[in-house]
Amino acid sequence: MPIRVTVWNEFLHEQNDEKVRAVYPLGIHQAIAEFLGRDAELAVRTATLGQPDNGLPQAVLDQTDVLLWWGHMGHQLVDDMVVERVYQAVLDGMGLIVLHSGHASKIFEKICGMPSHLLSWQERGEGERVFVINPAHPIAAGLPQYFEIPKTEVYSEYFSIPAPDSLIFLSWYPSGEVFRSGFTYERGRGKIFYFSPGHETYPIYKQPEVQTVLRNAVRWTARTPNAPRIVYRANTPVLRPHADMGENR
Ligand code: ZN
């Protein structure tokens, strides 16, 4: 069975900004879907903000093992009902990969439980060195110790997030800033990965190392097969002592 992937994009910059359209003529979602779709183990579809139900009706989430999320200027346009639906899907086991400025999306803030939109940023077109600081993590598989993105938007600390369950990437910039650029959370049955590189005016999603990160992340965040169902009970049955236990005291 392939992993069912939905790439969601607000798809606003590409329609409003010539500079962005030059990099991603069909939209960031199509660029990501294109390289993920080359992987025979993935079944990839796309969804965008402007579609009915913001592209994410329950029927789509029910058939999604991993949802990728790229948003920036349209965070407030995402319907609260849709955010709640995505949140519940994550708690029930759907993987979520939050990209770049998605750190300020309603869904990521809900996952974080605090205002995760707070960080410093600068667009100077400088480079980024992305260090793998947890080489044992499956999302780092196949990567070198670090890789470089020639032109990026600088995101820098302090980044107002709860301590990650696993911190995988740390970025450094020539101007001296650092940033926790890739990390995970687990919530309920669901796994979440955040990855910061991906500014819309640079071809970052066309870079092989970035594609490796996202391919790995899709596999890692995908539903855990046979994950225990979460059941809330008033009374958990009492553990019955083994018959022999009395004699051994
Ligand atoms: Zn950006």
* CATH number of domain containing 33: 3.40.50.880
| Per-residue pLDDT tens over the stretch 198-208 | 999 999 999 99
How much distance in Å is there from the Cα of 247 to the middle of ligand 1?
68
Does 206 fall in a domain?
A: yes
Q: Please check whether residue 187 lies inside any domain of the structure.
A: yes
Centre of ligand 1 to C-alpha 167, Å, is: 21
| Residue range(s) defining the domain that contains residue 8 | 3-113+181-229
Q: Is residue 239 part of a domain?
A: no
Residues of the chain with pLDDT below 70 are 243-249
Confidence (pLDDT) at 243: 66
How far, in Å, is the centroid of ligand 1 from the Cα of 73?
Answer: 10
Tell me, what's the pLDDT at 231?
Answer: 83
Secondary structure in 3-state letters for 42-88: EEEEEEECCCHHHHCCHHHHHCCCEEEEECCCCHHHCCHHHHHHHHH
Interval between CA 227 and ligand 1 midpoint (Å): 35
Q: Tokens in use for 18?
A: 């010539």
How do residues 104-133 score in pLDDT, each as one tens digit? 999 999 999 998 789 999 998 899 999 999
Is residue 125 included in any domain, yes or no?
Answer: no
Inside any domain, residue 176: no
CA of 59 to the centre of ligand 1 (A): 31
For residue 149, the surrounding DSSP H or E stretch is: strand 146-149
Any domain includes 203: yes
CB atoms within 10 A of CB 120: 12
33 Cα: distance to centroid of ligand 1 (angstroms): 20
Domains identified in the chain, total number = 1
Instruction: Check residue 79 and give left, alpha or beta (phi > 0: left; psi -120 to 50: alpha).
Output: beta
Q: How far is the CA of 104 from the centre of ligand 1 (A)?
A: 11
- Domain membership flag for residue 189: yes
Tell me, yes or no, whether 224 lies in a domain: yes
